[in-house]
Amino acid sequence: MAEYFFASCPRGLENLLEQELIRIGASFAKKAAGGVLFGGTWPLVYHANLESRLASRILWRVATGTYRNEHDVYALAYDIDWSQYFTEKRTLRRDLTATNSPLTSLAFATLRIKDAICDRFRAQGKPRPSIDKHCPDVRVFAYLTDNEIIFYLDTSGEALFKRNYRKHSEQAPLRENLAAGLLMLSGWQPGTVLLDPFCGSGTIAIEAALMAANIAPGLNRAFAFQKLNHYDGAAWQRCKQKARDAVCPYDGNTTIFVGDFANDAVARAQNYAQAAHVADRIQFNAQDVNSWQAPSAQGIWLCNPPYGHRLEDQQSLARLYPLLGTTLKQRFASWYAWFFTADKQLPKGLGLKPEQRIPLFNGALDCRLYGFKMIQGAMRRQVKSQQSDTQ
């Protein structure tokens, strides 16, 4: 029997995620704000969590209804036979989000959903599940519109961008699924030379190497669906084994190059690449961005440079950008250069006119992916005719 799911993703990647879910096996997929609605049989849950490079979380829709007040929310949650999905031995967390909801207190509505779930278990003569806000076995999500509530069960657990190779959190990191999306939007394909001269923790390069190796992004982590009653351990092991068998061996031809001026950043990126089992596919260099020579006649330059939120950072970038534009024009002719940034002044600073500017979000941060086709001698910026980027 077909089931209905919702896959969330960074805003701006909905089109790519829709296409990806169809490739994975969804019977239908329809993009929505911040994600994609899709359908399929229960085993699709295994494949989507294991194989999606773009989704942040896969939610299983278990019930819908209309409401007017908190009493209706409680009644709708109570009507669901939660014991068919998980046992009372599982720890529980509930989350609620809303768009244009008339309720005065979403916190109170969330509490009423918890009460309804626990009361339903007790009405069946069973102990109530324990609540665990930090590391629960099961997460119930509810989404409210102006008059409708949708109940979901989380099948992912930890967010899917956590591939389990980055062990420490850095300040303002680029999430793994967003990095994968940037690679897809840039047109990069395995075998094409890739350069990231602002590698930071190496996320773009590692995601590229995982794609080149055809390593499923969820191959080395656990998922919330393993705690649900519908879990079929044998089917899951077959799914994982199929993914393992599909991994491509390294042919020794290095096409992914990364660097950073900070030695500790390069060392950290190498450590994460080793944890992801792709370090041999990446060449790491500790060097200034303007010292790079093109490693091939053609390729993709893709980077997430500093944004310059502090005044001293803005001043530093104002000095960096013109030098960087000169480096691209003089040494990277026939390349395509992509910059992911929240700094709308980047094209002007580089002295280059972007062929593409794609709106994206890094969390709540409004960003652009700028694409520049590098043609030697033909990319000098026409200052008078250049329109400022007001997007």
- In angstroms, the CA 198 to CA 209 distance is 17
Instruction: Say yes or no to pLDDT of 1 above 90.
Output: no
- In angstroms, the CA 173 to CA 163 distance is 14
pLDDT of residue 319: 87
pLDDT of residue 173: 76
Q: CATH 3.40.50.150: which residues of the chain?
A: 176-215+249-373
Neighbours of 301 (CB within 10 A): 24
Could you give the residue ranges of the DSSP H alpha helices within 7-61? 14-24, 43-51
User: Averaged over 293-307, what is the pLDDT?
Assistant: 93
Instruction: Say yes or no to pLDDT of 379 above 50.
Output: no
Q: Nearest CA to 68 among 183, 145, 138, 1? A: 145
- Is domain 3-154 classified as CATH 3.30.2130.30? yes
pLDDT of residue 31: 96
What is the band of 360 on the pLDDT scale with cuts at 50, 70, 90? very high
Query: pLDDT for 5-19, tens place per residue?
Result: 999 999 999 999 999
pLDDT of residue 2: 81
- In angstroms, the CA 94 to CA 196 distance is 40
**By mean pLDDT, which of 60-64, 170-174, 230-234 is the weakest?**
170-174
Distance of CA 16 to the CA centre of its chain: 11
- In angstroms, the CA 29 to CA 260 distance is 39
Q: In what order do the strands lie in the sheet with 28-32?
A: 28-32, 35-40, 3-8, 57-66, 148-154, 138-144, 92-98
Contact assessment for residue 293 and residue 331, using Cβ atoms and an 8 Å cutoff: yes
**Superfamily in which the 176-215+249-373 domain is placed by CATH:** Vaccinia Virus protein VP39 (3.40.50.150)
pLDDT of residue 381: 44
Instruction: Say yes or no to pLDDT of 312 above 90.
Output: no
Residue with token string 């999905």: 85
pLDDT of residue 315: 76
- Identity of the residue numbered 313: D
pLDDT of residue 311: 45
What is the band of 306 on the pLDDT scale with cuts at 50, 70, 90? confident
Neighbours of 191 (CB within 10 A): 10
Q: CATH 3.30.2130.30: which residues of the chain?
A: 3-154
